[in-house]
Amino acid sequence: MKTIITIFGSTGDLTIRKLLPAINHLLEENLLPDNTKIFAIGRRDYNTEKYFEFISNNLQTKYDLSRLRRHVEYFKLDVDNLKDYQILNTMISGISKEPTRRIFYLAVGPDLLKDIAENLSKSNLVIKGDTQASVTFEKPFGEDLNSATEINNLLWQYFDESQIYRIDHYLGKEMIQNILTVRFANKIFENSWNNHAVKSIRLLVKENEPIFSRAGYYDKSGALKDMVQSHLLQMLALVGMEVPLSYQSEDLKNEKVEVLKKLRYDSKSLIIGQYEGYLDELNIPSDSKTETFVFLKAFVDTPRFKGVPFYLLTGKALEKKESLIEIEFEESSQQQKWHLPLQNNILTIQIAPLDGISLRLNSKVPGLKDEVEQVELDYCISCDHVGNMPEAYEKLILDMNGHHKSLFTGWDEILNSWKFIDQVKTDIERKNIPLTIYKSSKELYDLILEREGVHFENI
Ligand SMILES: NC(=O)c1ccc[n+]([C@@H]2O[C@H](COP(=O)([O-])OP(=O)(O)OC[C@H]3O[C@@H](n4cnc5c(N)ncnc54)[C@H](OP(=O)(O)O)[C@@H]3O)[C@@H](O)[C@H]2O)c1
C-alpha cells in the first residue's frame, strides 16, 4: 500500500534532525515502500528546491539527500487557512486512487495543534473513523491535567482514538522495548520481579548539557513536566506493570495505567534543583524558579511491588549524559553465613547513550583462597551493532505506518501521569520545597545520600 506522510513544521529542528533522517533510512532499507510520498508543510515562501537548500544548510550530520529529493515535496500552507488544506487534499487525492496510508505528523509546538487539527478535519484530509488516516502529536501533551484534558477533548471531537498517535520517543528506544523481553521472556526474572526479591529500583535520565536555546519551552516546563511526566513515568510503568493479558497494545496500556493509578510518592524525599548559571541563559527571567533537576522516591502500591522504593532522578547540567534503570535485588538468604564481602545483584538496563544490559553477580576469585569478587555479565547492544542501531523515530514511523500502537501513549496513561505531576507541583508550592542551586551533580548526590542513604554518584 502507498504511504503519504505529511509533516507540519518541516523547517523545525525535529523534522530536520530526526524525522527526515529516519524516513531516509527507512527508504534506504526498503522498509517504507518506494512510492512513499512526503509533503513537507511550511509557512515559508519556499519551493521544493529552496526547501532542500535550507535543509542542506541546516544539517548537523551531513548525509546524501538525493533519495529524499525523489520523495519529498514542499507545500506552503497557512495553518489557519482552510483553503490551503483543501488544496492539499486535492493534491493528495490526485496522487493515488488506491487505498493509501496517510500520516499527518504535527512536528510543531502545542499552540498550533488546535488550528491544524480542526482544519485537517474540516478539509476532510482526516475523516473521523477512517483508519487509513492518522494524526501524530509530539510531547508535550498539555502542561497539566486540565490543559491535557482540554487538548484531548478537542482531538476526540475530530478523530477516533485509533487515529491518534501520541509520541514519547523514548518508547521507540531499543532498550525501552527490551524491558518487556527481559522481564517476560526470561524464567530467571519471572519469580524475582517482585517485592520478595527486589530491594529498590533506580530510574535515571541524566543530561550533561544545559538548556541551550530552548528557554521559551523549558522555563515554562521544567524537569518535572519535561522528563518525569513522560520518559521517567513510562520507564517506571514498564518496570512496575503486571503480566499483560497479551502483548497487544491495549493490554499493555491497561497494565501501565494500573501502575500509574497506584503510584504515590514520599514528598519528604523530593529534591528540586536549578543549575548555577541557569538564570544567565538567554531569555530566562532573572527570577525564574524553574527546576532543572528532580529527585523523588515513589512507591507502586500493588501486591507485586508494595514497599519497594522507585527512585526517580533527572536533570540538566549533570556530570554525564546517561539514561538507565537499575534493579537492585535483596541480599541472598545465605549472605550472613558467608562472612565474605558479598554485594547485592544488580540488573542494569542501559538506555542511552549506549544500549545494553548487565547483571552483577558474586563470583569466586580464581585460585586457592576463599575470596569473592563482583563480576558483570555485560552485553552492550549498541557496541555489537555499531552503525546499525535504529533510531527511535525509525521504529515509531514504521509502527505508525503499520498501525501498531503499543509504543504510543494512550490517553489514560497521560491522564494518570499528569495527576501525579500535578500532585508533586502542588506539594512544591504548599510545602515550600526549597530550590537547591547546584554547581555540580556531586552536591545533589551527597544530599540524596544524606537523606535516603542511596548512592547515585557512580551510576
Ligand atoms: N526537537 C526535538 O528533538 C523534539 C523532541 C521531542 C519533542 N519535540 C516537540 O516537537 C515540536 C516541534 O519541535 P521543534 O524542536 O522542531 O521546534 P522548532 O524547531 O521551533 O520548529 C517549529 C516548527 O513549527 C513551525 N511554526 C512555528 N510557528 C508557526 C506558525 N505560526 N505557523 C506555521 N508554522 C509554524 C516552524 O516554522 P518556521 O521555521 O517557519 O518558524 C517550524 O517548522 C514541539 O512540540 C517540541 O516540543 C521536539
In degrees and rounded to multiples of 5, residue 396 shows phi and psi of -70, -40
| Cell triple for 29 | 532499507
CA of 24 to the centre of ligand 1 (A): 20
Residues 6+ apart with CB under 8 A from 390: 25, 174
Tell me what pLDDT residue 247 has: 87
Helix then strand count (H, E) for the chain reads 17, 15
Which of 43, 81, 173, 397 to probe ligand 1 with, by most ligand atoms within 8 A of CB? Answer: 43
What are residue 46's phi and psi, to 5 degrees? Answer: -105, 165
Give the position, in ligand 1's atom list, of the atom nearest the Cα of 44.
40
Name the 3-class secondary structure at 389.
coil
Note the pLDDT tens digit of each residue in 18-44: 999 999 999 999 999 999 999 999 999
Burial class (CB in 10 A: 0-12, 13-18, 19+), 433: middle
Per-residue pLDDT reduced to its tens digit, 150-169: 999 999 999 999 999 999 99
Q: Does domain 171-388+409-452 have CATH number 3.30.360.10?
A: yes
Contact 102, 2 (CB under 8 A): no
CATH number given to 2-138? 3.40.50.720
C-alpha cell at 447: 544530599
Give the list of residues 6+ apart from residue 194 with CB closer than 8 angstroms, or none: 304, 305
Which residues have CB under 6 Å of ligand 1? 9-14, 18, 42-44, 79, 107-110, 112, 138-140, 169, 217
Rounded distance from Cα 14 to ligand 1 centre (Å): 7
What pLDDT score was predicted for residue 384?
66
pLDDT value, residue 385: 62
Cα–Cα dist 60/421, whole Å:
34
Coil vs helix vs strand at 173 = coil
Mutating to test ligand 1, I would choose from 105, 108, 230 the residue with most ligand atoms within 8 A of its C-beta, which is 108
Q: Cα 135 to the chain's mean position, in Å?
A: 18
Tell me, in angstroms, the distance from the centre of ligand 1 to residue 434's CA. Answer: 33
Domain with CATH 3.30.360.10 in the chain: 171-388+409-452
- In 3-state terms, what secondary structure has residue 414? helix
Angstrom distance (rounded) from CA 440 to CA 417: 29
Which residue owns the Cα nearest ligand 1 atom 1?
Answer: 14
Q: How far is CA 397 from CA 93, 104, 105, 166, in A?
A: 22, 11, 10, 12
- For residues 260 and 194, the answer to whether their CB atoms sit within 8 Å is no
Pocket test for ligand 1, best of 13, 60, 88 (most atoms within 8 A of CB): 13
Domain with CATH 3.40.50.720 in the chain: 2-138
Please name every residue paired with 265 in a beta bridge, in sequence order, or none if there are none: 298
> What does the pLDDT read at residue 133?
97
pTM for the full predicted model: 0.93
pLDDT for 296 equals: 98
Which residues does the chain have with pLDDT short of 70? 382, 384-389
Active site residues: 231
Give Cβ neighbours of residue 324 (< 8 Å, ≥ 6 apart).
Answer: 202, 204, 348, 349, 350, 351, 459
- With beta carbons less than 8 A apart as the criterion, state whether 242 and 302 touch: yes
- Which residue in the block uniquely carries the three cell numbers 537547591? 436
Distance 215 CA to ligand 1 centre (A): 14
Alpha-carbon distance of 311 to 289, in angstroms, equals 23
> What type of residue is 71?
H
> What is the distance in A from the centroid of ligand 1 to the CA of 104?
15
Q: How far apart are CA 341 and CA 455, in angstroms?
A: 18
Which atom of ligand 1 has the smallest separation from the CA of 18?
Answer: 3
Residue having the nearest C-alpha atom to atom 46 of ligand 1: 109
130, 101 Cβ separation under 8 angstroms? no
Q: What is the 8-class DSSP label of residue 162?
A: G
* Grid coordinates belonging to 241: 506493570
- Give the Cα separation of 327 and 311 in Å (integer): 10
